[in-house]
Amino acid sequence: MTDTAYWCERAWLPDAIAPRVLVRAGAGGTITEVSFVDTPPLGAIRLRGLVFPGFANAHSHAFHRALRGRTHGAGGTFWTWREGMYRLAERLDPDGYLRLARAVYAEMAVAGIACVGEFHYLHHGPGGARYADPNAMGEALRRAAADAGIRLTLLDTCYLAGGIGKPLAGTQPRFGDGSVAAWAERLAGMREDATTRIGAAIHSVRAVPADALPDLVAAAPPDRPLHVHLSEQPAENEACLAAYGRTPTELLHDAGALSARTTAVHATHLREADIDLLGGAGVTACLCPTTEADLADGLGPARALADAGCPLALGSDQHAVVDPFAEARALEHGERLRTGRRGHFTPADLVTAATAGGHASLGWPEAGRIAEGAPADLVAVRLDSPRTAGVLPEQALFAATASDVDTVVIGGRVVACDGRHVLLGDVGRLLTEAIGELWR
């Protein structure tokens, strides 16, 4: 790849929005120059509207995308939705997962997402039978992200129990390795590459017994992210208190699982002491507002977590929508609904959560900013659409949607333009075909 120049009508730089910004991407896909030029130089690609850094989706379950628009008729709760998720999981094999994940990651790319954190627990075949390659499902995700042109942090997930004190049952043997040692051995077979980093995840305190947590923490890659589902449901807290006499946060703290490399996903139903523990350890809180609303999970204490010292990140989780603008707005809107007051997070706070905060939680701290040395990830958003016309550029995040993304550059190359994936074509067709095959 040769050097490429992009001329931005406006760009969201680390300190301010600036007009007429020239960004040069080197052969390695990183930014080599950010300067101010009144007119586009010869050969530069013009990016219209307001250019953001690439967004990070810090929490994804790619296969859940096949449930969108299929779970609402019967109502219910998170727990009834989970039964539908298990039925879907039964249908997937490595080839089908590759097709589905490729389409899902392409949808993310078109929406401006440059990096995804895949919380990956669908490891094995039906009944828990191992594939010839024990990481075949993870390799499908790696290939899917590469095909879609986005970076991947594969958060390989340890899943040992069907609930506190319960064995794996039904679909769950597909998720489990039997022990921390067996999980760690399989994880050791995964290799990083230029666009893939390998992290670890504790599925939850429901799925990993308390006595296994310290061993899991010790076995996880020491310089890579460690993610965990935390207190998404009150029932999880109640079961944990009944079994261990501690909240899930306290249990993780006692096991040494809370540190600056840890990301707590959801963190919805927390006590004040839990928030203090998370903030004191510098744990990132990854909220997934559209999923938490769709599954009736509740409103996480985003402002309190941030005030306690937790960096914030955002994820689309089960992909009720794939829209980083919607997730960022919902972070603020949740606080408004809780308090009856506006203005808990500034637009800059929300952009940071959607970009640099998410990238850091996924082990890419150099990403998520338009600056020399950062990956050349640029997301041009129109300011003249029916949604964004007339907005102040600094408040565009509160009006734009993924449909307003005009051009997406990841690692220095254009991967999407005018709502179409440059490498893969019509994303709607890809999704229709992949999801149709699963439900046929």
Which ranges of 113-247 would DSSP assign to H, the alpha helix?
136-148, 180-187, 213-219, 234-244
Answer yes or no: 274 catalytic.
no
Which ranges of 220-362 would DSSP assign to H, the alpha helix?
234-244, 248-254, 272-280, 289-294, 302-308, 324-339, 347-352, 358-361
Phi, psi of 324 (to 5 degrees): -65, -25
Residue with tokens 């939680």: 361
Which one of 156, 177, 274, 317 is the catalytic residue? 317
- Pick from 420, 439, 440: which is nearest to 430 by CA? 420
DSSP codes, 165-187: TB---TTGGGT--SSHHHHHHHH
Which one of 266, 269, 319, 344 is the catalytic residue? 266
- Pick from 279, 278, 283: which is nearest to 262 by CA? 283
The CA-atom distances, in angstroms, between 38 and each of 10, 35, 96, 193 are: 11, 10, 49, 38
8 Å CB contact between 333 and 363: no
Burial environment of residue 339 by CB neighbours within 10 A (0 to 12, 13 to 18, 19 or more): exposed
| Cα 262 to Cα 283: distance, rounded to the nearest angstrom | 5
Q: At what angle do helices 94-110 and 427-439 cross, to 10 degrees?
A: 150
Answer yes or no: 317 catalytic.
yes
8 Å CB contact between 144 and 62: yes
- SS3 assignment, position 312: strand
Helical (H) or strand (E) element with 381: strand 378-381
CA atoms within 13 A on the CB side of 242: 10
Which ranges of 31-179 would DSSP assign to H, the alpha helix?
78-89, 94-110, 136-148
Q: At what angle do helices 136-148 and 94-110 cross, to 10 degrees?
A: 30
Q: Active-site residue numbers?
A: 266, 317
